[in-house]
Amino acid sequence: MSAKNAEAKAHQEHSSPVNKYKAAALVKMSPQLLEWLTKYAAKSGHSRKLECVKGPDGELLFDAEALKSFSAYLAEPWPAEQGKRPNVPSGIEQEIQEEASFGCVICSRPKGEFAHIDPVHNSKNNHPHNLIYLCPNHHDEFDRQKLISKSDVERTKRQVLDARTAIWRAHAGLLDEILALIKQLQAVNVATQKEHFPALDAVKDELLKHIKAHALAPGLKKTAPEFAKKLEVALGDNAAPVEKVIDERAKFLEETGLVDCPLCDGSGSHNNWECPACRGEGTVAENLVGEIDLEPYRQEECPLCNGSGNHNNWECPVCRGIGTVDAYSVNEIDLSGYKQAECPLCEGSGSHNNWECAFCRGTGSVDEGKLEHFDPSDYEQAKCLLCKGRGTHNNWECPICRGVGKVDAVALTDIDLSPYQQTKCPVCKGSGSHNEWECRFCRGVGTVDVAALEHFEPSEWEDEDSDS
Ligand SMILES: [Zn+2]
Ligand SMILES: [Zn+2]
Ligand SMILES: [Zn+2]
Ligand SMILES: [Zn+2]
Ligand SMILES: [Zn+2]
Ligand SMILES: [Zn+2]
C-alpha cells in the first residue's frame, strides 16, 4: 500500500466517539434503534449488544468502528429454530414500521408485514436494511409472484434510508447538516419527478419538515443568520417551497465559497459509507478542493461481480450492488469465500419442483460459504393450510398456494389465515344468487373472505340493480 493510500485508509477509518445522531447517520439506523441495541441482545440465544459509553451530560456516545462491526454482525445469518425463520426483535420491527410511516411503502395501507429484501430462507438476515414494510398483497406480489422487482424495492429502501440519514445528520444541529438535508431533498425531488412511490413523497414532506425545524431553530440563526432568514422566506413560499429552498442552498454555497464535495456530490456518503473526502460533511471550501486527492477513490470494476453489481442473482456482497469499488481497496479484497459449489437443493440443475430453485436462484451454483446455511427441511412440501391441498378456495385459485395445493414447509409458520375467514356475502346476503344469477361477488358460495369486504363498494352493486 502506498503512503497516500494508507493515509486515505486511515482517514476513512478515523474515529472519535460520536453522538447518537452522527452514529445513526454512520450506520443508517435510527438513534432509537441504536439505543435499543445497547440494551437488548437482538439475536435469540446471543448475548452481544451494541457497545457505547456515557458522555459528560449522560448522552450515549458510540465508537465508529464498533458501530460498523455491529452492523456487520447484524447482517450475518441469524439463529433460528430448525425449519423456522429467525425472530425479528421488537426494536427492529419498530424501526421498519417507522421508516415506512407505519404503512406499506408501496400503497401506504396501514396493516403491514416485515418483508425480507434478500429472501429469509437463504439469507436468514434480519438486518434492518434487509427488511421493508409491505402490506400482505404487495408482500405476496414481491415475494411469491415476483410482480414487483427486487431492484425497485431496493431503490426505494435506499432512498428512504438516505433521506432518513440526512435527517439524523441534521439533528446534530450544524450548518453542514442542513445543507446535506437540502441536497437530499434535491435528490428525492428529482426522483419523484421520474417515479411515483408514495414512500418518496412522504420522505420529501418529512425532509421539508426537518429543514423547516432546523431553519427556525436557534442553532442555525446563530451560525448563519442571513441564510436562516432566507430559508424561512423560501419555506413560506406556498407555490414552490422545494425549488426555492434548493435555490437558496446553491446561492449560499456560492456566497460562502463552499462547493459540493467532489467525491460525494454533497450527499456526505460515498459507496454507502460516510464520505472519506469531506468526512461526511458534504461540502468543502472551494480553495481547498484542489488538494483533495481523488485517486484512491477512483472507481474500479468490482473483482467479484465484474461490474454487474450482481453475484449469483443477488446483490454483490463485495461492492454492495454498486458494481465498482475504491481503487485503493481493490487488492485487499479476499475472494476465497465466494468460490462456487454445486447447489445442494437442485444439484446444479437450477430448478426445484418445476420452479426456479430458491436456494441458488436458478444459477445451479452457490458460494461455498453458503453451504453451511442450507437446511433441507426448509424445502420439504406440506399441504396448503387454506385449501387443504385442493388448490381452490371459494371457487377461485387458492391465493396461498396459487392452485398447487402445497407450499414449502418453512413457509407454513408465516401463513396468516385471518384475512380468509368467511363472512356472509354482502351482495346476496348468503343466498349465493343475485338478480336471479349466480352472485358474482361470492361466485355463488354465499360467503366471502373478510379481507374481500375492503373492496366491497355497495354503490357498484346498487347501480347494477337499477340498470337491470
Ligand atoms: Zn401495499
Ligand atoms: Zn464527500
Ligand atoms: Zn460487486
Ligand atoms: Zn439450486
Ligand atoms: Zn392452497
Ligand atoms: Zn354473494
Lookup result for grid cell 389465515: 417
Distance 235 CA to ligand 1 centre (A): 32
Provide the pLDDT for residue 168: 80
Count structural domains, the chain: 4
Listing DSSP states for 150-169 in one string gives HHHHHHHHHHHHHHHHHHHH
Judge if 130 and 30 occupy the same domain: yes
Cell of 77: 445469518
Judge if 48 and 176 occupy the same domain: yes
Q: In this structure, is residue 269 part of a structural domain? A: no
Provide the pLDDT for residue 178: 86
Q: In this structure, is residue 289 part of a structural domain? A: no
Which ligand minimizes its atom distance to the CA of 439? 6
Sort strands 437-438 and 310-311 into parallel, antiparallel or unpaired.
Answer: unpaired
Distance 298 CA to ligand 2 centre (A): 13
Judge if 310 and 214 occupy the same domain: no
In the chain, the largest separation of any two C-alpha atoms, in whole Å, equals 87
Q: What is the pLDDT along the chain (468 residues), one digit of tens a residue?
A: 444 444 444 444 433 567 788 889 889 999 999 999 999 999 999 999 999 988 655 668 888 889 999 999 999 999 998 888 899 999 999 999 999 999 999 999 998 999 999 999 888 999 999 999 999 999 999 988 888 999 999 999 999 999 998 878 776 556 777 888 899 999 999 888 887 788 888 888 999 998 998 888 776 776 677 888 899 999 998 888 999 999 999 998 888 777 899 999 888 888 878 788 887 778 887 877 888 888 889 999 999 999 999 888 888 989 988 899 999 888 888 888 888 899 999 999 998 766 688 888 888 999 888 888 888 887 888 899 999 999 999 888 898 888 888 888 877 888 889 989 999 999 999 999 988 889 999 999 999 999 888 888 888 877 554 444
Distance 143 CA to ligand 2 centre (A): 36
Provide the pLDDT for residue 463: 52
Which ligand minimizes its atom distance to the CA of 106? 1
Residue list, CB under 5 A from ion ligand 3: 302, 304-305, 316, 318-319
Judge if 47 and 143 occupy the same domain: yes
Q: Which of 419, 439, 456 is the last residue of a domain?
A: 419
Closest CA to 377 of 350, 405, 401, 413: 413
Distance 317 CA to ligand 5 centre (A): 36
Which residues, other chains included, contact 392 with Cβ-Cβ below 8 Å and sequence gap of 6+?
398, 403
Judge if 163 and 229 occupy the same domain: yes
Closest CA to 123 of 74, 61, 184, 66: 74
Which residues, other chains included, contact 151 with Cβ-Cβ below 8 Å and sequence gap of 6+?
none
Closest CA to 24 of 123, 131, 128, 113: 128
Cα(329)–Cα(304) distance, integer angstroms: 13
Judge if 405 and 449 occupy the same domain: no
Q: Which of 379, 403, 419 is the last residue of a domain?
A: 419
Judge if 242 and 329 occupy the same domain: no
Which phi and psi (to 5°) does residue 111 adopt? -85, 105
Residue 245, H or E segment: helix 241-256
**417-464: pLDDT as tens digits:** 998 999 999 999 999 998 888 999 999 999 999 988 888 888 887 755
Q: In this structure, is residue 285 part of a structural domain? A: no
Residue list, CB under 5 A from ion ligand 6: 425, 427-428, 439, 441-442
Which ligand minimizes its atom distance to the CA of 361? 4
Judge if 307 and 328 occupy the same domain: yes
Following CA atoms 456, 459, 461, 465 in sequence, which dihedral angle do they give, to the nearest 10 degrees? 170
Provide the pLDDT for residue 354: 63
Following CA atoms 337, 338, 339, 344 in sequence, which dihedral angle do they give, to the nearest 10 degrees? 100
Residue-range definition of the domain harbouring residue 225: 17-254
Task: Give me the interface pTM, i.e. the ipTM.
Answer: 0.48
CA atoms within 13 A on the CB side of 443: 9
Q: In this structure, is residue 312 part of a structural domain? A: yes
Q: In this structure, is residue 96 part of a structural domain? A: yes
Judge if 209 and 311 occupy the same domain: no
Judge if 324 and 187 occupy the same domain: no
Which ligand minimizes its atom distance to the CA of 284? 2
Distance 407 CA to ligand 5 centre (A): 8
**259-277: pLDDT as tens digits:** 899 999 888 888 878 788 8
Listing DSSP states for 14-81 in one string gives ----EEHHHHHHHHT--HHHHHHHHHS-SSTT-------EE-TTS-EEE-HHHHHHHHHHHHSPPP--
Judge if 410 and 448 occupy the same domain: no
Which ligand minimizes its atom distance to the CA of 446? 6
Judge if 217 and 308 occupy the same domain: no
Q: In this structure, is residue 265 part of a structural domain? A: no
Which ligand minimizes its atom distance to the CA of 318? 3
Q: In this structure, is residue 347 part of a structural domain? A: no
Sort strands 273-274 and 60-62 into parallel, antiparallel or unpaired.
Answer: unpaired
Q: In this structure, is residue 234 part of a structural domain? A: yes
